[in-house]
Amino acid sequence: MQRASKSVLAFAVTLCSHFVFAPLAIADVLPPDVKAKAKGEVVWYDGSGGATTRARDEAIFKGFSAETGVTLRTDFSPDLTKFFAAMDSGAPIPWSFVEFATKSDFVRAREAGYLEKLDPSIVKVSDLGNGAYDDYGVDVMRYGIVFTYNTEKFSGEGAPKTVRDLYDLKKFPGKRCLFKYPQYGGVLESALIADGADRNKLYPLDLDRAFKKLDSIKSDVIWWSNGDDAIRLISSGECSMGIAWSGRVYSAVKNDKAPLAINWKDSLYAQAVYAVPKGAPNAAAGQALIAYNIGDLEGQKKLVRAITYATDIKALKLSDYGEGLGPWIVAGDNAADAIQEDADYYTKHISDVIDRFNRWVALN
**What pLDDT sits at residue 26?**
60
Per residue in 242-296, pLDDT (tens digit) is: 999 999 999 999 999 999 999 999 999 999 999 999 999 999 999 999 999 999 9
Q: Which residues contact 217 (CB under 8 A, 6 or more apart)?
A: 166, 167, 169, 176
**What pLDDT sits at residue 93?**
97
Per residue in 144-180, pLDDT (tens digit) is: 999 999 999 999 999 999 999 999 999 999 999 999 9
User: How far is residue 282's CA from residue 304's CA, in Å, rounded to a whole number?
Assistant: 28
**Residue type for 296, please?**
D
Per residue in 220-246, pLDDT (tens digit) is: 999 999 889 999 999 999 999 999 999
pLDDT mean over 184-204: 97
CA-based angle 126:130:136, to the nearest 5? 65
User: How far is residue 48's CA from residue 32's CA, in Å, rounded to a whole number?
Assistant: 31
Task: Report whether 56 contacts 46 (CB < 8 A).
Answer: no
Mean pLDDT, all residues of the chain: 92
pLDDT at 17 over 70: no
CA-based angle 73:77:83, to the nearest 5? 90
**What pLDDT sits at residue 318?**
87
User: Mind listing the domains of the chain with CATH numbers?
Assistant: 32-142+272-326 (3.40.190.10), 144-269+340-362 (3.40.190.10)
**What pLDDT sits at residue 233?**
98
- When pLDDT is cut at 50, 70 and 90, the band that residue 203 belongs to is very high
**Residue type for 245, please?**
W
Per residue in 302-322, pLDDT (tens digit) is: 999 999 999 999 999 888 998
pLDDT mean over 212-216: 98
- Could you check whether the bond before residue 204 is cis, i.e. omega within 30 degrees of 0? yes
Long-range own/partner contacts, residues 125-134 (CB < 8 A, 24 or more apart): 125/294, 127/294, 127/295, 127/313, 127/314, 127/315, 128/294, 128/311, 128/312, 128/313, 128/314, 129/312, 129/313, 129/314, 132/311, 132/312, 134/110
